[in-house]
């Protein structure tokens, strides 16, 4: 039985910054806890074919590392731009730059070092497949520079970042990008972003920290969350439609249904009953029902693909 006790009422934890070493403050600035977004979104291309030669997995690891560096650079630049506003926020004032643990000059040096590492890693791999990471970087710099203050556009840009991750996985593996995969990723990440905005609406005071919140209401966000839930489910069920001619595609669609429904139901439970949703990346890797369902889904898809490769005869 799934309960709502595995996540606290709020999953936005205030970091303990007292007396931590300087290197830990620098590490916190690039937010390793958020790297799970790349580890989850980029390999989604494996839904088309989870069984690859070793070279394919290495290329996937390369593009994932590119996105980790690009996103780390974005986090540093975002915290640098918001350092004065973060100082007035009850939680974000503990961020390394806002708290004074890392100086603005050190943050710029760190961003430059990340940019250099990004360039070196790009040249070390299949360079032509790196373009999604650089579009992601440009898009998020624009987001940090002001687009995050535009209502509705703020959550759409975040969702586009996840689509670019999925696109990168397909590009580096030489797969055709499924429109249904793009729609599933876009609406799924939009669902997470809307849940985060809803939590912010319930938790924050009207201090002007996030100007875009002024154009939202809890009622509007509730409607958008439910609307997106239906679209995510529809897109997920149709994800394998281009592969319906194969036995794997038909079986994958059938076996995916209960997992997709359970994941959406659990997320809605966390948002509406538990009061969570503030940290989607943390939720996706620490909520036991979500992690367990996702792992079982992945195992089922791999088993189906292996069965097809072994020429197992399907019933019906």
Q: Give the pLDDT of the chain (316 residues) as one tens digit per residue.
A: 444 444 444 444 555 555 678 889 999 999 998 888 888 888 888 776 777 889 989 999 999 999 999 999 999 999 998 888 888 877 788 889 988 899 999 999 999 999 999 999 999 999 999 999 999 999 999 998 888 889 999 999 999 999 999 999 999 998 888 888 899 999 999 999 999 999 988 876 555 567 788 889 999 999 999 999 999 998 888 876 655 446 667 777 788 889 999 999 999 999 999 988 888 988 988 999 999 999 999 888 888 878 777 765 544 4
Q: Which of 91, 85, 269 shows the shortest CA–CA distance to 195?
A: 269
Contacts of 46 (CB under 8 A, 6+ apart): 52, 60, 169
Token readout for 66 is 């590119």
Name the pTM for this structure: 0.83
pLDDT in the model for residue 67:
95
DSSP class of 312: P
Contact by Cβ (8 Å): 94, 15: yes
Q: Note the maximum CA span of the chain.
A: 66
């Amino acid at each position: 039985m799934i309960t709502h006790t595995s996540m606290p009422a709020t999953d936005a934890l205030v970091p303990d910054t007292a007396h931590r070493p300087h290197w830990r403050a620098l590490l916190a600035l690039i937010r390793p806890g958020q790297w799970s977004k790349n580890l989850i979104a980029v390999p989604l291309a494996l839904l088309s074919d989870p069984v690859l030669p070793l070279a394919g997995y290495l290329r996937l690891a390369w593009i994932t590392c590119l996105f980790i560096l690009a996103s780390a650079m974005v986090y540093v630049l975002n915290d640098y731009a918001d350092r004065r506003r973060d100082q007035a926020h009850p939680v974000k004032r503990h961020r390394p730059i806002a708290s004074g643990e890392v100086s603005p000059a050190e943050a710029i040096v760190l961003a430059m070092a990340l940019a250099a590492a990004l360039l070196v890693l790009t040249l070390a791999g299949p360079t032509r497949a790196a373009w999604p990471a650089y579009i992601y970087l440009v898009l998020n710099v624009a987001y940090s520079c002001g687009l995050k203050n535009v209502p509705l556009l703020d959550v759409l840009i975040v969702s586009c970042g996840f689509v670019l991750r999925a696109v990168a996985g397909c590009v580096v593996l030489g797969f055709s990008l499924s429109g249904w995969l793009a729609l599933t990723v876009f609406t799924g990440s939009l669902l997470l972003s809307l849940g985060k905005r809803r939590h912010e609406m319930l938790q924050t005071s009207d201090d002007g920290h996030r100007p875009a919140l002024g154009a939202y209401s809890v009622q509007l966000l509730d409607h958008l969350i439910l609307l997106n839930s239906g679209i995510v489910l529809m897109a997920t069920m149709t994800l394998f439609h281009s592969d319906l001619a194969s036995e794997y595609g038909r079986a994958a669609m059938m076996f995916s249904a209960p997992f997709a429904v359970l994941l959406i139901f659990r997320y809605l439970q966390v948002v509406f009953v538990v009061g969570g949703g503030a940290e989607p990346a943390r939720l996706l890797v620490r909520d036991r029902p979500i992690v367990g369902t996702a792992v079982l889904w992945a195992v089922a898809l791999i088993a189906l693909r292996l069965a097809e490769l072994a020429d197992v005869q399907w019933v019906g």
